[in-house]
Amino acid sequence: MHTSNIWRKLNLHWYKIAVCCFSLTFFFSGNDTFAQSKKNRATYSVYRGSYKKPTRSANVGTRSITGSKRKARDLRFLNYGFFIGATSTKFIAQLSDSAGGSVDDTSSTVARLVTPQSSIGFSLGFVMNFNIDKTWAVRLLPTYSIYERTIDYTFADSSAANQVIATNMVEIPLLIKYRSQLRGTKGMYMVAGVKPAFSVSAQKAEDAEIVRVSNTNISIEYGFGFDVHFSFFRFSPELRFSHGIGNILIQDNNRLTNPIRTLLTHNVSLFLHFE
């Protein structure tokens, strides 16, 4: 039975990913702090060594400068960046008439229960954001994703089996983004669109008992998030839902695929965008 562990194979260590994300956030935050420090030193110099406490008008000026940068960024036709994400993923299985069998069946080939399980995936990609106006934008998000989905089986003779389907996908979500009016440096948004996906990992039917899936898939995606504008970049946490609309099961007529008529994908993802 094919039960490869893709995390061990690719030697992915979550603490390395966390350290990388923390370093990027610290770097961008450090730039803001450094810029503010330079501004304070300039103010001290103008007043010949006398420290002038920032007034309300000075703060308003700082916000207006940040606002002008933000507006210039939003009105630019193309914004780009990158994102990372974690996904809770699973299959949605529609069972065939052979699933369950009769009451008298005690065969090891008759599946009583077919239970897809949720697991965690990881995504990394690039952002290409095409601004139409202040409210609407089109987003193209080339993504490399790693999934490892699991299906549990219980058979009529009380035996059990576990099938792990590991896939590496190149996904190209094409989304429409609708932005709300900004309040200060923050604003909500919604996205919706389609996501074609192509597998870059080959499945070999070396075992008679294996669940194979198609190398292509297409999903409907929708979600929401909020933009937080900084001086040099925009940070956007986003929650997105994905529903596969095509049957990806390859029917090999074995005891693992016979009880399944249709196999669809379902993802719930949290993405962190830096633009």
Q: Residue 21 has what DSSP assignment?
A: H
CATH fold of 6-274 reads: Porin (2.40.160)
Question: Hey, what amino acid is at 93?
Answer: A
Mean pLDDT of 166-184: 92
Q: Which is more confidently placed, 56 or 262?
A: 262
Cα(137)–Cα(126) distance, integer angstroms: 16
Percentage of the chain modeled with pLDDT above 70: 68
Total-model pTM: 0.72
Cα(189)–Cα(46) distance, integer angstroms: 42
- Torsion over CA of 82, 83, 84 and 87, rounded to 10 degrees? -140
- Torsion over CA of 145, 121, 258 and 262, rounded to 10 degrees? -70
- Where do the structural domains in the chain lie, given as residue ranges? 6-274
Query: Which pLDDT does position 73 carry in this prediction?
Result: 65
Q: Residue 30 has what DSSP assignment?
A: H
Q: What is the pLDDT of residues 186-216, one digit of tens each?
A: 899 999 999 999 999 766 655 567 899 999 9
Query: Which pLDDT does position 32 carry in this prediction?
Result: 47
Query: Which pLDDT does position 181 carry in this prediction?
Result: 85
pLDDT band at 45; cut points 50, 70, 90: very low
